[in-house]
Chains A and B, each alone.
Chain A
């Protein structure tokens, strides 16, 4: 576990007292003793248990629903269907990372007249026990008119494909719409330079096609919500969400009630990875609670999680790259068709923006398509859209480097995006650390080591994610003993209470343990966007920093009272206030607040616009069993620019966890559909996420090229590490057995077949 500090910016090399240390997380004891309260641990007096009836068909019109027998079952207190949902007009709601059409959101939460995928919710029951609720589901009669379905993006783009929506038209750049309804909801187009001239300059041009399968985020905690619609018309929701405020907004809009009537209480959350931003159960539990007058809890089964929530899309991608003989990329072209699932609005946008984002390519054109298919509405999954695009681009990069006889890292270094590089979709990079990750990878023990043995190969790939800023609020109150209670609104999925608290501690010159962080509900803290986009340590950390500055300013005033001087005569450095002939540590001054005017509360609300990009480079050694096609990961190293690693253990953890999700995506994970549009492997057994026994230790090298726009240089780290693994592994397989894998997942039978169809 190495950390490489790149002293190239004014914030680099700064000595910190708290940042860069590894304190025990503040919520740690609760989480290792079983005391932490996740949503499913909520128990309310009189609580009912809800269950959801789901479509057995991939595409059908609902002719009728008869719930009378279910309602009559003893122990059942409420039943609801799409008819209980208010009519929501088409309206786009911004959810921080991504937007949603509310009419589609409502129809996804509960089908109104049509089911668009197997697993689409059609009715729900609340009963005295989950078993009674399940029995009641069996008594609901739904008549369907089954319609032809379409399961693959390229099939859905055909003119004669079954049409999912008769009111969705293809939106072209500039707002132009197609004449007739289409499964293609959007066509994106970006370009710079002149690609034709660019390819004409190239000595080598390679064009390849890629397919990737639908995959799920795979968080271990199923979706769960508890709703209490009180008799005063106030709605309280405890839910497993990445963003309590966006959950509040979506729920209020779908139910057509004022946002101020809804309180969302974020409990501890058992993983999200982008899949717990959209709402599913919240409004259903709310309606069942309103109808029954009792609190209602709904927990999804694992099969429901797979079939009824948003995976990330299957894709078809074509990438064409041109380079000169000396290894300079001169032109690039990409065609990306991403499945949106049952409703428009998938992750094609970031896919298009990320496909060439690692490289400085003067001439490039990218076309992207957002396409409806009869699968669950897709959602974000860790660097949404980027992993598929990188699989395509990074595999072609490797092929060009190999054909030109250039080391794959050297090739990337020749073309690496840097400060001033214009991305194909427009933005020009600020100071970024891609080159530094490549250099660190090249110099690593792993890359310098020799790999020997038959059927073994080493692959390299790089990855990019934007990292977002968005809005965060925080407040902090100083306790008489010199500790500080920090209130924030970012649900803590992976230790962000601690990384945010550490930034406040650094600002105040106190220990990380002297900050007591609390994640509050939507009534207890200012507006805070989702935990996503690798933003929390960056933006909520920024809010904590500003809270700290606010506290320091107020404490200077108190010191001035005590020392009988002007506030601007008081200085603060290294945790100590100094005035004319006087000084006091933070703790000493904190003790005297109540005699100088009362407690101090610092507050801040930020819109973090200064987030900057994260780049990473991964190295993997594999061994392929030529007789079975099975790939074994022998060694793995992830290198990434974190800006500043606030808590290095959790930075490493993000890199390791992301890399392993990428390994699962590369080798085995997929939604396996039968011809009827039913997912046949909707269980943890058959979906095959990696276990501990499938992996080696994941080595990490943290590069620190500070973000100049953040007081502590933070960039965010969570998403980038999932991007390189599939391409890195495909490149390693090629080096091991000489076959180029261009379809995910690269299961044993596919690798075997590829080996056997070699010349």
Chain B
């Protein structure tokens, strides 16, 4: 075992401290150390988006972030998207619109789509397809994912 480094972060609104090796990715630490297994590993080199989390509000591939780099950072994972007893509109629209089949890419899509709607509350179909190009889904052909994000945007606008 290499030398352990102490890291202090905020994850899903709660202060979290952990020990890690320098070589460990944020993805590894989230999953194996902190047991936040909702964030998925698909390729481990930044090409599929399954491990997307928000780092200081920006979507990143957590496999391409060293856990030590998260010192002082704010992290949001799929586990933090629902608030209290309610699903986020994106989660609800994914369910109603059958926007998932196997579900392994879903956490990454939800986190990236949330970042998109935070930045652009009324994205066009093209905007959605462009901004979510870093997330690969092999089951759905994307159609229902794009529509679910559009539906969620509308619902969020209506409740604003």
- Does the CB pair B138–A218 fall under 8 Å? yes
- Does the CB pair A32–B145 fall under 8 Å? no
In whole angstroms, what is the CA distance A653 to B87 when docked? 23
Interface of chain B, helix or strand or loop or mixed? loop
Known interface pairs A269-B102, A493-B101, A684-B48; A34-B37 also in contact (CB < 8 Å): yes
For chain B, the count of residues having a C-beta within 8 Å of the partner chain is 60
In whole angstroms, what is the CA distance A695 to B32 when docked? 36
Cβ of A318 under 8 Å from chain B: no
Q: Mark A242-277, 1 if CB is under 8 A from B, else 0.
A: 000000000000000000000000001111110000
**Cβ distance B155 to chain A, nearest Cβ, rounded Å:** 15
Contacting residues, chain B, for A647 (C-beta < 8 A): 98
Contacting residues, chain B, for A652 (C-beta < 8 A): 98, 143-144
- Does the CB pair A660–B103 fall under 8 Å? no
Contacting residues, chain B, for A38 (C-beta < 8 A): 37, 40, 104
Cβ of B9 under 8 Å from chain A: no
Which residues of B17-71 have CB atoms within 8 Å of chain A's CB atoms? 21, 23, 31-32, 35-45, 47-48, 50
Cβ of A502 under 8 Å from chain B: no
- Does the CB pair B38–A33 fall under 8 Å? yes
Contacting residues, chain A, for B77 (C-beta < 8 A): 34
- Does the CB pair B43–A31 fall under 8 Å? no
In whole angstroms, what is the CA distance A696 to B65 when docked? 32
In whole angstroms, what is the CA distance A25 to B133 when docked? 26
In whole angstroms, what is the CA distance A35 to B81 when docked? 12
Contact of B102 among A28, A220, A683, A691 (CB under 8 A): A220
Residue of B at shortest CB range from A649? B98
Contact of B141 among A28, A221, A659 (CB under 8 A): A659
Contacting residues, chain B, for A661 (C-beta < 8 A): 138, 141
Contacting residues, chain B, for A33 (C-beta < 8 A): 38, 78-79, 81-82, 87, 91
Known interface pairs A32-B87, A41-B37, A684-B43; A220-B138 also in contact (CB < 8 Å): yes
Cβ of A650 under 8 Å from chain B: yes
**Cβ distance B63 to chain A, nearest Cβ, rounded Å:** 10
Contacting residues, chain A, for B105 (C-beta < 8 A): 220, 270
Q: Mark A8-48, 1 if CB is under 8 A from B, else 0.
A: 00000000000000101101110111111110110100000
- Does the CB pair B143–A698 fall under 8 Å? yes
Q: Mark A268-296, 1 if CB is under 8 A from B, else 0.
A: 11111100000000000000000000000
Contacting residues, chain A, for B38 (C-beta < 8 A): 33-35
Known interface pairs A220-B136, A493-B101; A692-B142 also in contact (CB < 8 Å): yes
- Does the CB pair A131–B141 fall under 8 Å? no
Contacting residues, chain A, for B106 (C-beta < 8 A): 31-32
Which residues of B76-130 have CB atoms within 8 Å of chain A's CB atoms? 77-79, 81-82, 87, 91, 94-98, 100-107, 110, 125, 128-130
Q: Mark A467-495, 1 if CB is under 8 A from B, else 0.
A: 00000000000000000000000000111
- Does the CB pair A301–B95 fall under 8 Å? no
- Does the CB pair A685–B47 fall under 8 Å? yes
Cβ of B5 under 8 Å from chain A: no
- Does the CB pair B42–A220 fall under 8 Å? yes
- Does the CB pair A29–B144 fall under 8 Å? no
Contacts A38-B104, A493-B102 supplied; 15 other A-B pairs, CB < 8 Å: A27-B103, A32-B95, A34-B39, A34-B107, A128-B1, A268-B103, A302-B48, A659-B141, A691-B136, A692-B132, A692-B133, A693-B133, A695-B143, A697-B143, A698-B141
Q: Which 3 A-B pairs have the closest CB atoms?
A: A34-B38, A270-B104, A656-B141
Enumerate 26 A-B pairs (CB-CB under 8 Å) in ascending A order. A24-B96, A32-B106, A32-B110, A34-B36, A38-B104, A40-B37, A40-B41, A219-B102, A219-B138, A220-B105, A222-B41, A268-B102, A270-B42, A270-B103, A299-B41, A650-B98, A657-B140, A660-B141, A661-B138, A690-B142, A692-B129, A692-B137, A693-B129, A697-B125, A698-B141, A698-B143
Q: Which residues of A line the B interface, CB within 8 A?
A: 22, 24-25, 27-29, 31-38, 40-41, 43, 75, 128-129, 131-132, 217-222, 268-273, 299, 301-302, 493-495, 647, 649-650, 652-654, 656-661, 683-685, 689-693, 695, 697-698
Q: Which residues of B line the A interface, CB within 8 A?
A: 1, 21, 23, 31-32, 35-45, 47-48, 50, 77-79, 81-82, 87, 91, 94-98, 100-107, 110, 125, 128-130, 132-147
